[in-house]
Amino acid sequence: MKPVEWILDTASPRLDAVVRARLDWSHKRTRDAIRTGKVTVNGARETDIGAAVPARAKLRLDMAAPDPRRTEPMGVRLVFRDPSILVIDKPAGLLSTPAPGREEDPTALAAAQLLVKGPARPKVVHRLDMETSGLMVFARNVPTTRALRAMMDAHEVRRIYRAVVHGRPEQPEGMISSMLVRDAGGGRRGSRPGTFKLRPLRTPDPGPMPGSGKLAITRYEVKGGNDARSALEVRLRTGRTHQIRIHLAELGCPLVGEHVYAMPDGAGHRQALHAAVLAFKHPMTGEALHFESAWPEDLADVTPCPRAWTTTRSR
* Share of residues in the chain with pLDDT > 90 (%): 72
What are the tens digits of pLDDT across the range 231-258? 999 999 998 999 999 999 999 999 999 9
For residue 59, tell me if it sits in a domain: yes
Compute the mean pLDDT over every residue in the chain, rounded to the nearest whole number: 91
For residue 36, tell me if it sits in a domain: yes
For residue 53, tell me if it sits in a domain: yes
CA-based torsion, 19, 23, 25, 29: positive or negative: negative
What are the tens digits of pLDDT across the range 95-153? 999 988 877 789 999 999 988 876 778 999 999 999 999 999 999 999 999 999 999 99
Instruction: Give the predicted TM-score (pTM) of the model.
Output: 0.79
What are the tens digits of pLDDT across the range 271-307? 999 999 999 999 999 999 999 999 988 888 887 777 7
- Give the residue among 37, 39, 2 at the shortest CA–CA distance from 20: 39
For residue 145, tell me if it sits in a domain: no
Cα–Cα distance, 265 to 268 (Å, whole number): 8
For residue 167, tell me if it sits in a domain: no
For residue 16, tell me if it sits in a domain: yes
For residue 274, tell me if it sits in a domain: no
Contact 86, 140 (CB under 8 A): yes
Per-residue pLDDT at 265 = 84
Per-residue pLDDT at 313 = 46
CA-based torsion, 10, 16, 22, 24: positive or negative: negative
Per-residue pLDDT at 306 = 75
Residue 28, domain CATH:
3.10.290.10
What value does the mean pLDDT take over residues 52-71? 86
Structurally, the chain folds into a number of domains equal to 1
Active site residues per annotation: 129
